[in-house]
Structure 1
Amino acid sequence: MMTMYTAKGRLDANALLKQYSPLVRRLAHQMIAKLPANVELDDLIQVGMIGLSDALTRFDSAHGVQFETFATQRIRGAMLDELRGNDWMSRGDRRQQRSIESAVHKLEQKLGRAPQESEIAAEMGMSLSEYQDLLGKVRGTQLVYLEDMTGDEGDDDYLDRHVADDEANPLAMLQDRRMREALVEAIKNLPEREQYVMSMYYEHDMNLKEIAAVLKVTESRVCQLHSQSIARLRSKLRAW
């Protein structure tokens, strides 16, 4: 284990930056999965490292908080501030995401099963290639939080609801456990290939390139499958 302090008893900034850089990458990967394709992972990591540096200068062990906990909050905060300062997802993209979910829901009610891509495309008045391009564009929206089911279309607190850490909120944790139970059931009803994608991405922390290699498809195709899975799950959980 790398020491956190110098011989004089001060925090060793260089050692900590090296020790906790994997934490920055892990948080960035978790966050990027909830964001659209125009957000760059490297940008989040760079901003996260600034948050880590800020944590080093502000940390006070006398407050009784572990450094990793404190640093995680600072890193997340830096990333969220960066996202709020940029037009990371247009309202048009959000409307398109909701239109996919609406088409999926209508077809599920009509067909009594998970609709195929071609059927969703036809419902939306698109060719299959146009629909798949749209899936790539709206990549990585978060699944569903209970706020999504209120019918409120306001987007001002979208980042806080979909990306921020809910661990400090006991009610959110309870709601999340209930949501997870519904989510597990919804995933069981996904088409087989999409179940594989969700399992590899979220359970095994595999990246798009690794999943593509397993499925023998392109990374962009994995991205499309992921987006479509999210749309199916959001449709199911909105009705939960």
Structure 2
Amino acid sequence: MYTANGLTDKNQCLQEHAPLVKRIAHHMMLKLPNSVEVDDLIQAGMIGLLDAASRYDELRGAQFETYAAQRIRGAMLDELRGADWLPRSLRRDARRIENAISRLQQKLGHAPVESEIAREMGISLPDYQQMLQEARGSQLMYYEDFRNEEQESFFDRHDLSDAANPLEMLQDERFRAALVAAIERLPERERQLMGMHYEQDMNLREIGEVMGVSESRVCQVHSQAVARLRTYLRGY
């Protein structure tokens, strides 16, 4: 099935790895605004899977599923790049939340609860929670992050090679230590949610079932947790 020129049976590849595409799409949805349709991500991911099947070379030393996952995510990100999927107003609200958390953290000396953050922002608790829901996705990356001066695609900028290794850059020991410390500072409920999503690879529905809340509430708690982390990690 595998050759130096790629996969010999691409249809079989698509069938076998379609669940991988769906899993990645649903996993990404927690970090994306409500305006993004999961079916659009899945469709883009299938294109990425087909691209992986065409390009895969066993000499790269990576298992196909590992390589395909990278290409699938890249295709989904390129799909998002095709539209300004996060309005500037939502980015502005996300920064307002982060700034309010930062001010309260310094003033109170502890992680502020939702009601305190809402009061600091001068809005009602329901309005704050709605803002959290709508801000979902603002913490993933900004639209401008998808492109560089040469307008290269995500695939071209993140292809596997022996040159710069993004994973090694992310594993900088000081940043990792700061990130671990920041996660430890999160309120327990938010820390548990982050663990379920990023360590156990659970999606919105699964996390909601464990926590006994709706998927929308999971989104709110996640948005608030990421806002705290961004506040704690300013400077990195």
Q: TM-score surpassing 0.5?
A: yes
The answer as to whether partners of 2:32 and 2:140 remain within 8 angstroms in 1 is no
The answer as to whether partners of 1:34 and 1:140 remain within 8 angstroms in 2 is yes
Aligned to 1:216: 212
* Counterpart AA for 2:169: L
Aligned to 1:195: 191
* Counterpart AA for 2:50: S
> Equivalent residues in 2 for 1:62-211 (5 A)?
64-65=59-60, 67-68=64-65, 71-142=68-139, 157-159=144-146, 169-170=164-165, 173-177=168-172, 178-211=174-207
Over 3 Å counting, the alpha-carbon distance change for 1:106 and 1:10 in structure 2 is: closer
Structure 2 unmatched runs, 5+:
149-153
Over 3 Å counting, the alpha-carbon distance change for 1:175 and 1:211 in structure 2 is: closer
> How large is the RMSD of aligned CA atoms in angstroms?
3.1
Aligned to 1:147: none
Structure 1 unmatched runs, 5+:
145-154
The answer as to whether partners of 1:141 and 1:230 remain within 8 angstroms in 2 is no
Tell me how far 1:76 sits from its aligned partner.
3.1
Over 3 Å counting, the alpha-carbon distance change for 1:165 and 1:180 in structure 2 is: farther
* Counterpart AA for 1:157: E
TM-score, structure 2 length as denominator?
0.80
Tell me how far 1:188 sits from its aligned partner.
1.0
The answer as to whether partners of 2:190 and 2:222 remain within 8 angstroms in 1 is yes
Over 3 Å counting, the alpha-carbon distance change for 1:208 and 1:26 in structure 2 is: closer
Tell me how far 1:97 sits from its aligned partner.
0.7
The answer as to whether partners of 1:201 and 1:211 remain within 8 angstroms in 2 is yes
Rounded to whole Å, the distance in 2 between the matches of 1:143 and 1:79 is 13
Rounded to whole Å, the distance in 2 between the matches of 1:108 and 1:60 is 48
Tell me how far 1:32 sits from its aligned partner.
3.1
* Counterpart AA for 2:31: K
Tell me how far 1:28 sits from its aligned partner.
2.5
Tell me how far 1:118 sits from its aligned partner.
0.8
Once the two structures are superposed, residues 49-101 of structure 1 have per-residue CA deviations (whole angstroms, 9 ceiling, x without a partner) of 02222343x3364x834554654454333222211111211111111111110
The number of residue pairs the alignment matches comes to: 222
